[in-house]
């Protein structure tokens, strides 16, 4: 499918026993959707732009949701009542790969920036205890907060949460939670800088003082007041 008209025709003819709500506002390059089950749901809110998107519904009762103004690109696979949700105005500059299976959820917040990344809720294969025979690597949800920037070829694995405003460096392997407003890099990814933010525009060395959080400004002001008070106390 290459345009919204073809999408509407597909929705009417082939989404048997499944539900498609909404139509992409724009489609660049070819897009595809595959249903292998019933009771699946695809929701496309206003202003969503598809760029080389492939959607795969494996089994019954899965959900994919694209919020208003998002620009998804890549392969989105859901299975076993899995869910993928892409937040408002989140953009993917290069095709990405997402897999939410075993009834787990991938949630991506609003205004994120992603490029050629891989995110999964399951290892697909099983790791078993040789003592009990029980499976050890159970599937877990993945949650990416609002305004997160994940650079190219980073991998985000099951159970990970990435806090609002954080930055994940290129080729990072994220296996543990990353707090908000941090820069994390490496394999495994670790925080190398705190109290950082980012903007899409490339700025000069002076940056943008307007991006300083009010809490930080207040903290600096309070610290200066306490230091001045201490100095006056010593001099009196």
What is the chain's pLDDT, residue by residue, as a tens digit (236 residues)?
556 666 656 665 667 789 999 999 999 878 889 999 999 999 999 999 999 999 999 999 999 999 999 999 999 999 999 999 999 999 999 999 999 999 999 999 999 999 999 999 999 999 999 999 999 999 999 999 999 999 999 999 999 999 999 999 999 999 999 999 999 999 999 999 999 989 888 888 888 877 666 444 444 444 455 555 555 655 55
- Please, is 235 exposed, middle or buried when counting C-beta atoms within 10 Å of its C-beta (0-12, 13-18, 19+)? exposed
Bridge partners, residue 220, by sequence:
none
The SS3 call for residue 220 is: helix
- Distance of alpha carbon 162 from its chain centroid, rounded? 9
Strand order in the sheet with 74-79: 32-36, 53-58, 74-79, 96-100, 118-120, 155-156, 173-174
Helix residue ranges, H only, 79-137 = none
- The rounded distance, in Å, linking the Cα atoms of 50 and 48 is 7
CA-only gyration radius of the chain, Å: 22
């Amino acid at each position: 499918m290459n345009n919204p008209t073809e999408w509407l025709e597909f929705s009417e003819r082939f989404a048997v026993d499944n539900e498609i709500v909404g139509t992409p506002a724009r489609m660049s390059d070819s897009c595809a959707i595959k249903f292998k089950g019933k009771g699946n749901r695809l929701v496309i809110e206003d202003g969503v732009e598809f760029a080389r998107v492939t959607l795969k519904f494996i089994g019954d009762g899965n959900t994919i949701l694209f919020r208003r103004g998002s620009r998804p690109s890549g392969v989105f696979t859901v299975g076993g009542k899995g869910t993928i949700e892409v937040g408002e105005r989140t953009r993917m500059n290069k095709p990405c790969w997402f897999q939410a299976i075993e009834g787990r959820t991938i949630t991506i917040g609003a205004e994120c920036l992603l490029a050629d990344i891989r995110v999964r809720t399951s290892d697909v294969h099983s790791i078993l205890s040789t003592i009990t025979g029980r499976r050890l690597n159970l599937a877990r949800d993945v949650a990416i907060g609002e305004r997160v920037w994940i650079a190219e070829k980073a991998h985000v694995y099951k159970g990970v949460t990435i806090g609002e405003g954080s930055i994940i460096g290129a080729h990072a392997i994220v296996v543990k939670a990353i707090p908000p407003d941090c820069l994390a890099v490496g394999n495994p990814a670790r925080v190398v800088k705190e109290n950082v933010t980012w903007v899409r525009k490339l700025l000069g060395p002076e940056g943008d003082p307007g991006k300083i959080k009010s809490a930080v400004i207040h903290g600096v002001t309070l610290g200066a007041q306490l230091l001045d008070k201490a100095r006056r106390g010593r001099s009196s």
